[in-house]
Structure 1
Amino acid sequence: MDPTASGLRRLFDLVQDSGGHWSGDTLHLPTSIGTGFMRLLSPEPGLKLAIHSFILTEALTLDREADYTQPETLLVAFHAFDPAPQAALHLSTARITSSTLGLTTQLPAQTAIFIVALAIDKTLLSNWLPDAEKLLPALFTNQHPVVLDTLLTPEIQAVLRQVAVSRPAHPLDNFFYKIKMQELLYWLFWELALRAMTPVRLLHPADAEKIYQVRTALLANLSDPPNLPSLAEVVG
């Protein structure tokens, strides 16, 4: 179970191949790519965590391929951009997806990027949030791909700021990060529960991927958005 499967595996590989160096559980970016780091943690069985904090020299597009080998895993990613250009501002979101869905992630250049990516077993999530399956049953099915996202709420942003603070290694780190991930998921589910009365539409994975292709194309240049015929041609 790998949190870099959220679409950031390519970036990990790129950083390592370009001369990035490890310091404990932290991988530092080489100056050819940018500045900052990526950190891998495993606070408890069933939960893996990747913390990313960097500024890229050039914009990157990261593709995540669908993975059907981990149907019991949910991928949760919190993306924050600061200072945010017009497009990046709208890309600051919290997103839950099943590992069976392929998606594309856009990372802008010369922008402070902070991402917390989780890979969590559905069983562990049920233990933490026993009412989650009642509120959002679509998350716990293996028959259809899942994707839910929302803008970052002030509560989520507050927890992300706590996680973003550089901390020296400590024996209680696993406990700290477990609590903070629980807080993030609590506020995320609180926000998503507001949609609980809206019927969930089931999509084929290819359709879901095309919807996000349209989203990316629209956000790439909000001052001059593409017209409907050109969008239809891009996504087929």
Structure 2
Amino acid sequence: MIFSFCATPDFDFMTYFARYIQATVQNGLLVIPDHLGQGYVRKFSFGPDFKITIHRYLLKEDLIIKRNASGQGNELITVFFYNNEHALQIAFNDDTQILFSQRDESAVQVTSNDLSSTIRFPAHQQIHYVVVAITPPRLTQLLAVTEPNSVLQTISGGGNSFLFFERMEAQTKLLLKNLAAVDMNDLLSNFYMQIKVQELLYLVFSKLCLRESAAHQTINSADAERLLFIRNEIISDLSVPPLIRELAQVAAMSETKLKLLFKQTFGTTIYNYYQQARMEEAAFLLKQGKLSVGEVGYELGFSNLSHFSRLFEKHYGLNPKRYSYS
């Protein structure tokens, strides 16, 4: 099923989604009808300019959510948390669906509401994701940063088009799990949720605060789609280092633009992103225990195993052999 909507600040996802699947909403809770699957969508509102929607369900058919740009500029900031065992498929045009992650399928996406996107949630798989929607003035009030870096200035300032991705840390995953387990019979549940959602935003923006300040490069839906495709190209074969010239040709961008937009969106350079993914894949393979340290190194393109061990220890604090037994 395909649910399409226009991302205006006053749009209420739950109300229109309930109509689409012919369900009812009671006290901020939408229960998925049995003929479609099982689970729920729950919404908490902390005023007209700040709300959170929690999605937890398993569906009998694919769900495609198409968010169309509002055409009204940056009047709403969306922070999207996807924490799941299966790969998120996301696109910013109606073209190829891109798997967001190869091993750790968790992601945090911060975007303005003037970018269109399409997200596919596969059938027969547990879907856990959370969306926080907040206006720039309310976010500015919450953050109360006297000297924000360029990233925070871009997000909290009106009229900017932006897309930022962050990896989801264990603390964020635990907090999301706790949010889904809130006792709704507790009279102070809404108050508790507001505190915890602010903590969630703190974890995201504390990482964005660490990014270096640089002039913001305008991004559109086509750019965002190309960047996700490039990211997928980088991790599709971790035994081969990325070549900027070839990636730029694939993205139909200049090398300069690709490097700038990639670092702006993912918070690091293309090569550093590749090395991080490489080490994460090495850690995954070592924990599986099916391959030796040497086999893992060769699988990831290392001809010098001493170099592999030094690089792995730099990332994880343990050499590969000790890590595999930890």
Aligned mate of 1:94, from 99, 102, 108: 108
Q: Following TM superposition, by how much is the alpha carbon of 1:53 offset from its aligned partner in structure 2, in angstroms?
A: 0.7
Distance 1:70 1:38, change over 3 A: farther
Distance 1:125 1:102 in 2: 22
Aligned mate of 1:162, from 155, 175, 178: 178
Q: Report if the CA contact (8 A) 1:56-1:110 is conserved.
A: yes
Aligned mate of 2:191, from 175, 180, 203: 175
Distance 2:32 2:45 in 1: 21
Are residue 54 (structure 1) and residue 57 (structure 2) matched?
yes
Distance 1:176 1:10, change over 3 A: closer
Distance 2:137 2:201 in 1: 14
Of the structure 1 ranges 177-186 and 157-166, higher mean CA displacement relative to structure 2 is found in 157-166
Q: Report if the CA contact (8 A) 1:133-1:139 is conserved.
A: no
Q: Report if the CA contact (8 A) 2:64-2:118 is conserved.
A: yes
Are residue 151 (structure 1) and residue 167 (structure 2) matched?
yes
Unaligned segments of structure 1, at least 5 residues: none
Distance 1:161 1:29, change over 3 A: same
Of the structure 1 ranges 68-77 and 29-38, higher mean CA displacement relative to structure 2 is found in 68-77
Match of 1:141 in 2: 157
Q: Following TM superposition, by how much is the alpha carbon of 1:11 offset from its aligned partner in structure 2, in angstroms?
A: 8.5
Distance 1:142 1:26 in 2: 32
Match of 1:211 in 2: 226
Match of 2:30 in 1: 27
Q: Following TM superposition, by how much is the alpha carbon of 1:150 offset from its aligned partner in structure 2, in angstroms?
A: 1.1
Query: Could you list the per-position Cα deviations for residues 91-147 of structure 1 after superposition, in whole angstroms to 9, with x for gaps in the alignment?
Result: 421111111111121212222211111111211111211128713211123343111
Distance 2:208 2:193 in 1: 22
Distance 1:211 1:27, change over 3 A: same
Q: Report if the CA contact (8 A) 1:48-1:118 is conserved.
A: yes
Higher relative contact order (CA 8 A, sep 6+): 1
Match of 1:123 in 2: 137
Q: Report if the CA contact (8 A) 1:48-1:120 is conserved.
A: yes
Which residue identity is paired with 2:63? L
Q: Following TM superposition, by how much is the alpha carbon of 1:173 offset from its aligned partner in structure 2, in angstroms?
A: 2.1
Match of 1:186 in 2: 202
Superposed counterparts of 1:59-74, under 5 Å: 59-69=62-72, 71-74=74-77
Distance 1:138 1:27, change over 3 A: same
Match of 1:84 in 2: 86
Unaligned segments of structure 2, at least 5 residues: 89-98, 238-245, 253-326
Distance 1:96 1:13, change over 3 A: same
Q: TM-score, structure 2 length as denominator? A: 0.58
Query: Could you list the per-position Cα deviations for residues 40-97 of structure 1 after superposition, in whole angstroms to 9, with x for gaps in the alignment?
Result: 221234212211111122223321111133633211111111x335956554211111
Match of 1:199 in 2: 214
Which residue identity is paired with 1:205? N
Q: TM-score, structure 1 length as denominator? A: 0.77
Per the alignment, in what secondary structure is the counterpart of residue 137 of structure 2? helix
Q: Report if the CA contact (8 A) 2:137-2:156 is conserved.
A: no
Distance 1:18 1:49 in 2: 20
Q: Say which one has the larger Rg.
A: 2
Distance 2:123 2:146 in 1: 36
Aligned mate of 2:21, from 18, 23, 48: 18
Distance 1:111 1:200, change over 3 A: farther
Q: CA RMSD in A?
A: 3.5
Query: Could you list the per-position Cα deviations for residues 213-233 of structure 1 after superposition, in whole angstroms to 9, with x for gaps in the alignment?
Result: 6269x49x958xxx97xx769
Q: Following TM superposition, by how much is the alpha carbon of 1:23 offset from its aligned partner in structure 2, in angstroms?
A: 3.1
Q: Following TM superposition, by how much is the alpha carbon of 1:187 offset from its aligned partner in structure 2, in angstroms?
A: 0.5
